[in-house]
Amino acid sequence: MQQSLPIVSSKIWCLFLCLVTLTVKGQPHERLTGYSSRPQEASSIKHYKKTASLDLPVIDDFSYRSHIPESTIWEDQNVYINQTFGISPPSIGVATFDGLDENGHAYELGKFGVDTADILTSQPIDLRNPGDSVYLSFFWQAAGLGEFPETGDSLTLYFYTPQSAEWARIWSISGIDSITDFTQEMIPVPDAYHKDNFQFRLISYGAQAGAFDMWQLDYVRLDDGRSFADTLFDDVAFTRPHPSLLSEYAAIPWFHYTSNAANKANSNFYYRKNNDGASQNINLCLYEIMLGSNVLASEYQGQPDPNSPALNVENVYNCLFDPFFPGAQSGEFVLTAYQTHEGSNEDPLTETNDTIWHEQHFKNYYAYDDGSAEQAYLVDDNGGGFMLQKYEIAQADDLRGLYLYFLPSEYDIEQNEFTIVVYENNNGVPGSLIYESDTTHTPHYTTSNFYLAYPIAQDTSVSVQVGTSFFAGIKQVKNTPLPIGYDANTLNFPPIIFYGKPNDYYQSSLRGKLMIRPYFRYTPKDFSISYPIATALDIQVYPNPASSHVFVKNNEENSQLQYSLYNLSGQLVDNGEVSNSAIRLQAHLNDGVYVLRIVDSNGKKAPYTQKLILRK
């Protein structure tokens, strides 16, 4: 395991800004951050080491719909396969490296120093008799739509053979703090590795605290008969997911879907021709839109490629849909759509990127977001303030509550109460308060679903009548921020997110959407499910202010505590173990305000953090 001395990252610095009270209280300000867990699909695939090694070529473009790496190619399943974190990838689907394990949990809560994070290891490969020179190629992108890796972080490649019996470091890229395009690496595999059971491995080094320090990986290709200039491959691939079939929302209630007015007449689709022009002649806009097996609209002839000369860049075409409508339905239902292309002579190992699917769900809620949370959205210094999102709906109706997606992030928010609030739309900004829930809620997390339902009243039969335009969201009781899921793929333009107080609010400068879904008429079946929340360390620190020592009362069983002390510039000034329930403050420390952070070495509890005043 590679490890360095503790460093202070931008994530910890953000935490300092939130915890330290300045002489003048600041105005509310929004920001994005990573998170310490995400819901993860249950793995039905048992990963294992193959008894028979793979033959060349070995190719994976991560275009499959599972979030788990393909077990026939990869030994482990730590990385997160998805179609939303990459920005203009070579093909749809990327492998995301972060600080979350295969179950979607942080490797070690509160640990922001550089350490081993995600690992992706190939199955054994037979390289005994390659036809010619062997190259491994892949594309990488720093951050994508997630958090940037910092200077001390890295993505590193290793090679292994049983004969060498060790993993050799072959290539590495350090953290980058600005948006980059996908970059292809061409890595020769030396003759010394032309053995049976050869393996390669990519490791990200960064924070183990969660979805921080992220890298996106795409289009891994190991083959012989290649050269350093062999950067092109004959593959026409979609690069973004199938968009919503609806004109404004990702979802609307089935009882508001009464005419074709809600449907898109056309949509943009994004694709890339990863080749040298030999296979340019493709037909696009081949699709079907279905209710069950009933085809509502289709196109089987397609249209010629409008971007025929444009190679190795992301292109777009617009597909005009035939009018489609399933007729009035008596309950919840789903429309299924696919989009494909034809005409190119492509590698059958990458055919899954030729078609994109979309399931359009009609339940009882409105949704802007696509269900993916690339980061967490929170507002600092917003005690008693709101976070709102504007909704324009098809008809006035009875609002029953909000689906909310809270992410565990920098804070323990188990006791951080909030209420549900609804405001009038006053010419595009929040107007008068329509309703505030009669009870307070606390955030809950789930291991299997992104959203949980929060009713507007303790009596779940209560509803509030809203018109066709309103703002809905939450009101913070405490000053501790409440991290809400942030969908970076769904653009907030013009901005519809507001935060602050009724007479002192601010319009969001960010371009994504909050994962808040108002639901109507009836209560979801799963609203009453209770989910456990990761709790913080149960300790007390005293006295404060302190002079030479602080004492730590530890109510945890069998825990070993470690502490770090930072000044207001974010510099680590002292760290060590909590010995005999006390921390001795170093004599060289000047009087002032510091931030004390205490963690449990077994990583099972969220860290304890507080402001500490030193007066000698």
Q: Decide if 387 is inside a domain.
A: yes
Distance of alpha carbon 609 from alpha carbon 564, whole angstroms: 10
Q: What is the pLDDT of residues 233-252, one digit of tens each?
A: 888 999 999 999 999 999 99
Task: Name all contacts of 185-188 with Cβ < 8 Å and 24+ positions apart.
Answer: 185/137, 185/138, 185/139, 185/140, 185/157, 186/135, 186/137, 186/228, 186/230, 186/231, 187/135, 187/136, 187/137, 187/157, 188/133, 188/134, 188/135, 188/228
Residue 111 CA to residue 6 CA, distance in Å, equals 9
Same domain, 180 and 59: yes
Question: What pLDDT score was predicted for residue 581?
Answer: 84
Question: Is 9 contained in some domain?
Answer: no
Banded model confidence at residue 24, pLDDT cuts 50, 70, 90: very low
Say which CATH number the domain at 413 has.
Answer: 2.60.120
Give tens-digit pLDDT for 190-202: 999 999 999 999 9
Position 28 in a domain: no
- Overall average pLDDT of the 125-140 stretch: 94
Give the residue-averaged pLDDT of 519-527: 79
**Quick one: 112 and 41 in the same domain?**
yes
Question: Which of 216, 231, 246 is the endpoint of a domain?
Answer: 231
- Is the pLDDT assigned to residue 495 strictly greater than 60? yes
Whether 505 has a pLDDT exceeding 60, the answer reads: yes
Residue identified by tokens 């000047």 is: 590
The residue to which tokens 């890339």 are assigned: 272
Within a domain: 533: no
Residue 14 is predicted with a pLDDT of 45
Last residue of a domain, one of 460, 489, 520: 520
Residue that finishes a domain, picked among 196, 231, 266: 231
What is the tens place of the pLDDT at every residue in 321-367?
A: 999 999 999 999 999 999 998 876 566 666 788 889 999 999 999 99
Q: Within a domain: residue 506?
A: yes
Least confident of 100-109, 277-286, 385-394, 544-553: 277-286
Indicate if 418 and 454 belong to the same structural domain.
Answer: yes
Residues contacting residue 445 through CB under 8 Å, at least 6 positions apart: 37, 406, 407, 408, 531, 532, 533, 534
For the segment 1-14, the average pLDDT, to the nearest whole number, is 39
Same domain (yes/no): 547, 503: no
Is residue 534 very low, low, confident or very high in pLDDT (cuts 50, 70, 90)?
very low
Do residue 586 and residue 444 come from a single domain? Answer: no
- Based on the domain organization, do 289 and 356 belong to the same domain? yes
**Co-location of 163 and 257 in the same domain:** no
| 13 within some domain | no
Give the pLDDT band of residue 497 (cuts 50, 70, 90): very high
Does the pLDDT at position 44 exceed 60?
no
pLDDT tens digit sequence for 147-159: 999 989 999 999 9
Average pLDDT on 128-144 reads: 94
Please report, to the nearest 10 degrees, the dihedral formed by the alpha carbons of residues 565, 570, 571, 572 taken in order: 30
Residue 458 pLDDT more than 70? Answer: yes
Residues 187 and 252 in one domain: no
Alpha carbons 445 and 392: distance in angstroms, whole number = 28
Average pLDDT over residues 528-552: 66
352: CATH? 2.60.40
Res 22 pLDDT > 90:
no
Residues 373-398 pLDDT 10s: 999 999 999 999 999 999 999 999 99
**Do 399 and 352 reside in the same domain of the chain?**
no
Burial of 302 (0-12, 13-18, 19+ CB in 10 A): middle
CATH number at residue 205: 2.60.120.260
609 has pLDDT over 50: yes
- The pTM of this model reads 0.80
Percent of the chain with pLDDT over 90: 57
Tell me whether residue 531 is in a domain.
no
Note whether 180 and 43 are same-domain residues.
yes
pLDDT of residue 65: 81
Tell me the pLDDT band of 532, cut-offs 50, 70 and 90: very low
Place 567 in a pLDDT band, splitting at 50, 70 and 90.
confident
- Of 239 and 177, the structure prediction assigns the larger pLDDT to 239
Instruction: Please tell me which residue, 99 or 596, carries the higher pLDDT value.
Output: 99
Q: What is the pLDDT of residue 79?
A: 97
Within this chain, do residues 127 and 271 fall inside the same structural domain, yes or no?
Answer: no
What DSSP character marks residue 606? B
Q: Mean pLDDT check: name the lowest of 3-12, 273-282, 341-350, 579-588.
A: 3-12
Report the alpha-carbon distance of residue 605 to residue 179 in Å, rounded: 33
- Percent of the chain with pLDDT strictly greater than 70: 86
| pLDDT, average across residues 65-71 | 90
How many domains does the chain fold into?
Answer: 4
Q: Is 36 exposed, middle or buried (0-12, 13-18, 19+ CB in 10 A)?
A: buried
Q: What is the pLDDT of residues 407-430, one digit of tens each?
A: 888 766 777 899 999 999 999 999
The chain-wide mean pLDDT, for the chain, equals 86
What residues make up the domain containing 320? 237-362
The per-residue pLDDT for 93 is 96
- What is the model's pLDDT at position 9? 44
Residue predicted with more confidence, 232 or 431: 431
223 in helix, strand or coil? strand
Beta-strand ranges (E) seen in 275-370 are 283-291, 294-299, 303-304, 314-320, 333-342, 355-362
Can you give the pLDDT at residue 430? 96
Question: Is the same domain home to 217 and 157?
Answer: yes
Q: How confident is the model at residue 167 (pLDDT cuts 50, 70, 90)?
A: very high
pLDDT at 491 over 50: yes
3-class SS at 351?
Answer: helix
Instruction: Judge whether 304 lies within some domain.
Output: yes
Determine the Cα–Cα distance for residues 183 and 90; give it in Å rounded to an integer. 10
Query: Quick check: 207 pLDDT over 70?
Result: yes
| Per-residue pLDDT at 12 | 45
